[in-house]
Amino acid sequence: MRLLISGGGTGGHIYPALALVEALKKRDPKAKVLYVGTKRGLESKIVPDAGIPLKTIEIQGFKRSLSLENFKTVYLFLKSVKDSKKIIRDFKPDVVVGTGGYVCGSVVYAAAKLNIPTLIHEQNSVSGITNKFLSRYVNKIGICFPDVKQDFPKGKVIFTGNPRAQQVAGIKPNQTLEKYGLDPARPTLLVFGGSRGAEKINQTTLAAAQLFKDSQYQVLFVTGRVHYDKLIRQPEAKKVPANFIIQPYIPDMPQILPDIAAIVGRAGATSLAEITAIGIPSILVPSPYVTNDHQTKNALSLVNQKAAKLLKEEDMTAERLFADIDELMSNKQLRDDMANNAKKAGVPDAADKLLDVLTDISKK
C-alpha cells in the first residue's frame, strides 16, 4: 500500500497518524508512506524524528472574527490545494488519510478532487471544523466516540477507535519509575496537564503538595517544559515532601503508564486512548479553552462508564484536588473497578480496524 497521510498542529492529530503508520509497516513492511504537514506545526519535528518522509505546504486557519487575515487564508488554501495535488501526483498514493488540523483540509480535499480514495479520522467527541468540511468529500470517516456520528453524513461513518490505543496496549509494567526517584513498590499517581502543561493544574497541584506528605502513595508531577522553570522557583516547590516528585517532561510517556496507579490530567483524545488501552483510573480536568468544550464531552464518555471522575477546572482547589485524589488512591478496590471499566471502554485493535477500512476503500 502507498499511504499519504496528513494531520498537524497538535500531538492529538499527529500521534494517531504515527500509530497508524506503525501498524501499516508491521502489516506490510514494503508499504510506502508520505506525511504532509506544515513547517510551523509540531509535525515538522515529530514526523522526521519518527523516520517518516515529510513534505510541507503553507496554510493557516481561519480567524473566528472578521479579519483581513482571512483573505490571506483563502489565498493560502487555494495555493496549498494546488501544491497538494502536485505532491499527490508525484507520490501516487493508493489512499489518503487526514487525522485533523487545518493542514489536512487542503491535502484530503485535493485527493478527493483527484478521485483518490480518502478517509478522515476524528479523535474527539465533537467534530473539528476541518473534518466537518471534508466529510462531504471523503469516502469514509473513522470515529472514536459514538456521539460525534451526528456531525457527519450518514453512511460514511465507521467506529474505529484511536490508533494510538493499539500502539500502547502491549506495553507491560517495566519499573521505569525508578529513574525518576520513585519507589516501584508504592502506588504512583501521575499528574500531567499535557505535553505543554496546564497552568491551573500545575499551580493547584503545587499548592496541594504538603497535603501528600503522610500518604502511603507517591506523586509524579509533570509540569510541561514551558512551565517548569517558573514553577520550580516558587517557594512551595522548595519544600515538597519526599513522596512528591516534580519533573518537567517524560520523553516517552506511554512507557511509564503501566506502572501508574491513577492519573490526573486533561481529557484530550490521545490521552484517553492511552488510558483506556492500558486500563488506568483517572481524574479528568477538561481544558476549558478548546472548541465546543469537546474535552468535557470526551471525559463524560468515561465518567458515564464509571471509568473516570470529572473535576472541572473552575471547581479545582488544592483541598478539593487532594480530597478527590486521596479518595481514589486510598481505595484499591475502587481503582481496580475503574481500571477494568476503562479497559472495557478502549479499542485495543483500533489501528487494525482503520487499516481494514483503508484496504477496502483503496480497492474500490
d(CA 277, CA 170): 9
List the one residue out of 112, 3, 108, 33 whose CA is nearest residue 357.
3
Has 287 been labeled as part of a binding site? no
Q: What's the Cα-to-Cα distance from 189 to each of 174, 215, 259, 328, rounded to whole Å? A: 16, 11, 10, 10
β-bridge partners, 55: 36
CA 75 to each of CA 59, 69, 71, 79, 98: distance values in angstroms, whole numbers, following the listed order: 9, 10, 6, 6, 21
DSSP lists the bridge partners of residue 56 as 37
Distances (CA, A) of 236 to 213, 226, 249, 322: 13, 18, 19, 16
Does 98 show up as a binding residue in the annotation? Answer: no
Q: Determine the length of the chain.
A: 364
The number of helices, as runs of H, and strands, as runs of E, in the chain is 14, 13
Please indicate if the annotation marks 130 as binding a ligand.
Answer: no
H-helix or E-strand containing 6?
strand 2-6
What b/e string do you get for 29-38 counting C-beta neighbours within 10 Å, with b at 16 or more? eeeebbbbbb
User: What is the CA angle 108-110-111, rounded to 5?
Assistant: 65
Instruction: Give the position of cell 486512548.
Output: 273
Residue 174 to residue 56: CA distance in whole angstroms: 38
Instruction: Name the amino acid, one letter, at 165.
Output: A
Question: Has 291 been labeled as part of a binding site?
Answer: no
Instruction: Tell me the torsion sign for CA atoms 255, 259, 264, 268.
Output: positive
Task: Specify which residues 54 forms β-bridges with.
Answer: 35
Residue 250 among known ligand-binding residues: yes
Please report, in range form, the residues annotated as the binding site. 10-12, 124, 195, 250, 295
Q: What residues are designated binding site for UDP-N-acetyl-alpha-D-glucosamine? A: 10-12, 124, 195, 250, 295
